[in-house]
Copies of this chain bind each other. A is one copy, B any other.
Amino acid sequence: LALDFLKVKTADAVVVKAPQLRQQVVEILIAVKVTRQDAEITADILVESDLRGVDSHGCGNVVGYATRIQQGTTKAQGDVRVISESPSSALITNDWGLGFAGAHAAMSMAMDKAAETGMGAVTVRDGQHIGMLMYYPLMCVRRDMIGLAMTNGAPCVRPAGGAQAMLGTNPIAFGAPAGEEPPFLYDAATSVVAMGKIGIARRLGVPLPPGWAADREGDWIKEPPAGRSPNWSLAPVGGDRVRGAHKGYGLSVMVDILCGVLSGGGYSALCREGDNHTFMLAMDISKYRPIDEFKSMMDDMIRALHATPPEPGTEKVLVAGDPEHETYLERSTRGIPLHRSIVDNMRAKAKEVRAPVLI
């Protein structure tokens, strides 16, 4: 759910249509020697993010990915391969290529296993950014499956009671199909906010609310910092102990175990900035109960939640995936409003790598 004060102001926006934006991402990636297949997978995920209003994980990030490839931090063509496998499980390495390739392969594999045995879980080591996490459970939803995805990353979140970052934002995404209603699609960091929100707040020049980020003395900071540093860290979900920061912290370590320790890639504190190890799980609903009955009960549940009397100051109770679904409907027809600086950076990168400028 996007907080209003973090939205791009109309005056700063350049509106671009999705197909054009997708093609621009593909061209930039191919220009830095990514295979067409991986470039298209990556572009699909980045565009889906922009279409759904998850601006922090949108196409603008291709500039950074291309730069990492140019610098050699990310391999242009990683050799994604299986390390170990059983009927419902697998461990694969992404071989330090673009994270999207391994993550997409992992969820595809998990779904194929689920179709056979009821469920599949694949953990991926040696990965890099994999974009909007919601994309992967969305792959499951499109196959009438339930999907769960998690990823870890370099430390920027303090444990409850700690004064130093030890955990990534370690998000969890979960999706389940409904019938007539949009699918349930949850995607949230186990930190109080995702790291991208701090960058957005800085770009928009708005102060951070208390409960988000603290300095080494444990005092909340207002000024959005320019980037990661040992001098500040995000709080886990809950913000403080009374509101459940120890719960957010525990969930974050759960993510770290499934992504970093189970894969052997390493827990957050062993990750360099940009590294991600990932866990993907798919469940075939029809192995449990008839899919139509499942979807019909999902519809009932979603409608009941929507019908909850709202508290004063709230217009309507939402369900995870609602705001992204609405944004999707709007942006897939009207186009995607990108912050001017993002468009400028993408154009500059395209020129630099001698890719056509399409936006």
Contacts and interface: CB of A to CB of B under 8 A. Distances in A.
A52 to B, nearest CB: 15
Interface stretch (A8-16, A63-71, A294-302, A330-338): A294-302
Contacts of A88: 87-88, 117-120
- Size category of the A interface is 35 or more
Interface string A86-106: 111101000000000000000
Interface string A230-243: 00000001111011
Nearest to A83: B289
B318 A184 contact: no
A214 B243 CA distance: 13
Interface stretch (A36-44, A221-229, A254-262): A254-262
B209 A242 contact: yes
A148 to B, nearest CB: 8
Nearest to A310: B161
27 contacts: A1-B246, A119-B119, A121-B283, A146-B257, A159-B305, A161-B310, A162-B311, A163-B308, A163-B312, A164-B309, A176-B261, A184-B257, A188-B247, A188-B250, A211-B242, A212-B242, A237-B237, A249-B320, A253-B319, A257-B301, A263-B288, A264-B297, A266-B297, A267-B297, A267-B300, A269-B301, A269-B304
Contacts of A257: 146, 174, 176, 184, 298, 301
Interface in A266-311: 266-267, 269, 283-285, 287-289, 293-294, 297-298, 300-301, 304-305, 308-311
A264 B294 CA distance: 7
B84 A289 contact: yes
A236 B298 CA distance: 21
A243 B284 CA distance: 34
Interface in A186-214: 186, 188-190, 192-193, 209-212, 214
B288 A91 contact: yes
Nearest to A254: B174
A2 to B, nearest CB: 11
Interface of A: 1, 83-84, 86-89, 91, 116-121, 123, 146, 158-164, 166, 172, 174, 176, 184, 186, 188-190, 192-193, 209-212, 214, 217-218, 237-240, 242-244, 246-251, 253-254, 256-258, 260-264, 266-267, 269, 283-285, 287-289, 293-294, 297-298, 300-301, 304-305, 308-314, 316-320
Contact of A250 (B186, B254, B304): B186
Contacts of A264: 289, 293-294, 297
Contacts of A262: 146, 283, 285, 288-289, 294
